[in-house]
Amino acid sequence: MYNLIYIRVVAIGGIKFCPKCGSTNVYWASGLPQLWSVWECRDCGYRGSLIIEDGKLAEKIRGKYLRERCSL
């Protein structure tokens, strides 16, 4: 089921990226229909309505996130 949702998101508006970690592993949060505007990242756990569609910005976010994570 999740793969179908992901394919639909990509087809409608291009690739979506997580604003916290830059991952493409983002999906609409499951649950009630009122949560359709809420996104969830399966890599870092981010939940929110803000989503990134700019690949260059996402690449910078991803690099920073991975550097911070490796330094722990």
Domain boundaries, the chain: 2-67
- Which residues are bridge partners to 56 per DSSP? none
What tokens appear for 31 in the block? 């649950």
Distance CA 20, CA 47 (A): 10
- At 12, the pLDDT band (50, 70, 90 cuts) reads low
59 pLDDT more than 50: yes
Q: What Å distances lie between residue 62 and 4, 37, 72, CA to CA? A: 25, 23, 16
- What DSSP string describes 17-43? B-TTT--S-EEEPPSSGGGTT-EEETT
pLDDT cut 90: percent of the chain above it: 57
Give the residue-averaged pLDDT of 3-31. Answer: 74
Kindly report the pTM of this predicted structure: 0.73
User: Which tens digits make up the pLDDT trace of 34-52?
Assistant: 667 889 999 999 999 999 9
The three-class DSSP label of residue 4 is helix
